[in-house]
A = this chain, B = another copy of it.
């Protein structure tokens, strides 16, 4: 059971303002919730249907710090941000643990990425390729938006997410800065390397002038067909695959 106040509290967390105020965020869905519960992160609330809670009682019992609420499906649906039916929702404490960006690795710098699906996909790509840090400009969609959490498939557990003024971050870098643009040199001419900053621009405006002027080089995925552009997540995947090869 959820009280009226608890119900309202969880629903309020769809807004960044209330996530910040309470220093928590929401994790939804069977697979991703199990991953989070197994990770040892601090959980504030576990809201689950009876079947799920029973099947995963060991995971639930590990979290003595959490309040556990067994609810019927319609009650879960009422607080859920997902469109598809769900079994479990967690309210997780937000505890940033990685203050510094690793200097001798690859890092993704996101310049006003707006779409939560793209943001989540990019965090998942960083997770796949073992990229330790994603640096977001203040104009990016909140990385703790429920749709971002969903699309990142647990990536938040392994990738450190920072918010910084990108020109300052890029200026201070000791590794090459590669900006993804539509008019740079061919990606396939760029040698893979073990460290660097890859800047991904806004979905419609691309990389901003202030960051572009500080980039070491501009890199483009050569086009062979008629499409005007590629999706930001797909572009990031292609660039990472080539640049981090071997």
- Residues in B neighbouring A11, C-beta threshold 8 A: none
The answer to whether A127 and B225 have CB atoms under 8 Å apart is yes
The oligomer's copy count stands at 2
Q: For chain A, which range describes its interface: under 10, 10 to 19, 20 to 34, or 35 or more residues?
A: 35 or more
A residues at B contact (CB < 8 Å): 117, 121, 124-131, 151, 153-155, 157-158, 187-188, 221, 223-231, 233-238, 241-242, 244-246
The answer to whether A155 and B237 have CB atoms under 8 Å apart is no
CA distance A33 to B5 in the complex (A): 45
The answer to whether B225 and A128 have CB atoms under 8 Å apart is yes
CA distance A11 to B130 in the complex (A): 45
The answer to whether A237 and B246 have CB atoms under 8 Å apart is no
Chain B residue nearest to A125 (CB atoms) is: B234
The answer to whether B188 and A227 have CB atoms under 8 Å apart is no
The answer to whether A227 and B155 have CB atoms under 8 Å apart is yes
Chain B residue nearest to A226 (CB atoms) is: B158
